Amino acid sequence: MEILNVNPTRMEMAKLKKRLAVARRGHKLLKDKRDELMKIFLEVVRRNKELREKVERLLTQAHQSFLVARAVMSVPVMEEALMFPKQTVELNVATANLMSVTVPKFSYATSVPRSDESDGGGDWDIFPYGLATTSSDLDASMQLLASALPLMLELAESEKTAQLLAQEIERTRRRVNALEHVLIPQLTETIRYITMKLEENERGNITRLMKVKDMMLEQTYRYRDRM
C-alpha cells in the first residue's frame, strides 16, 4: 500500500492519527447507513416486483378486451367513444425522506362526475360514452384499466423509489469501500512508517551518543597508551 508523502515528524503523525480516527468513525457510520438502506431497498424491491407482476397481468387482460372491442367496432366509432374522457386524474406529488434520500409520494384524486341517483349512477360510471354504439368488451377493458390505475401509480412510486435508493446505495457503497480499502490502510501505513522512522532516528541518536562518550573517555584516560 502506498504511503502518503509526508515528513516523518511527530506533528505530522499527530495530524494523521486524528484523520485516521475521523475516517474510522465515518466508515462505521457509512457502513451502518449502507446496511439500513439495503434493508429498506430490499423491501421496496420485493413490493415492486409484486406490483409489477400484478399490473402487467391486469394490463394484458385490459389489452385483450380492448383488442376484441377494436375488432368489432370501427375505428371512428372507437375514437369518438374515447375522445372526451369523463374521469380526470389529479396527481399530487409529495416527497418523503427515506434515510436522507428524497423519494416521491404520489397521491391522486379522480374526479368522476357522479351521475344522478335517478339514473342509477354508481361508481361504475367511468365510461365516457353511451352504451348503445359500443361493444361490451370496451366496457370490460375500461373497467380493468380503471382498477389498474391505483396499482399503476403505486408501481410508479415504488419503482422510482427503488431507482433512487439504488443510486444512493451505490454511492454509499463506493464511499465505504474507498474508506475501507484505500484511505484507512493508507493512513495506518503512513503512521507506521513515521513511527518506525522516529524510532530509527532515536536509535541512531543513542549510538551516536555512545560513540561520543567512548571517544571522550578515550581522550581523558588514554586507555590505549596504558596497555
Provide the binding-site residues for other proteins, judged by CB under 8 A. 38, 41-42, 45-46, 48-49, 52, 55-56, 59-60, 62-63, 66-67, 70, 78-79, 82, 85-93, 95, 102-104, 106, 110, 126-128, 141-142, 145-146, 149, 152-153, 155-157, 159-160, 162-167, 169-170, 173
Q: Give me the least distance between CB of 132 and other proteins, in Å please.
A: 17
Hey, what's the cell of 205? 541518536
CA-CA distance, 190 to 56, in Å (whole number)?
57
Of 24 and 54, which has the nearer Cβ to other proteins? 54
Provide, rounded to whole angstroms, the least separation between the CB of residue 25 and other proteins.
24
**Closest CB to other proteins among residues 24, 70:** 70
Please say which residue, 159 or 189, places its beta carbon nearer to other proteins: 159
Closest distance of CB 12 from other proteins, Å: 37
Q: CB of 185: closest distance to other proteins in angstroms? A: 21
Distance in angstroms (rounded) separating the CA atoms of residues 124 and 76: 25
For residue 125, the minimal CB distance to other proteins (Å) is 12
Q: Minimum Å distance from CB 170 to other proteins?
A: 6
CA distances (Å), origin 219, targets 72, 75, 212: 123, 120, 11
Burial 141-170 (b: 16+ CB within 10 A, else e): bbebbbebbebbbbbebbebbbebbeebbe
**Cell numbers for 28:** 462505521
Nearer to other proteins by Cβ, of 13 and 157: the residue is: 157
Is residue 49 a contact partner of residue 149, using CB atoms and an 8 Å limit? Answer: no
Closer to other proteins by Cβ: residue 49 or 203: 49
Nearer to other proteins, 158 or 190 (CB): 158
State the minimum distance, in angstroms, from the CB of residue 139 to other proteins.
10
Q: Which amino acid is at 39?
A: K
Nearer to other proteins, 13 or 129 (CB): 129
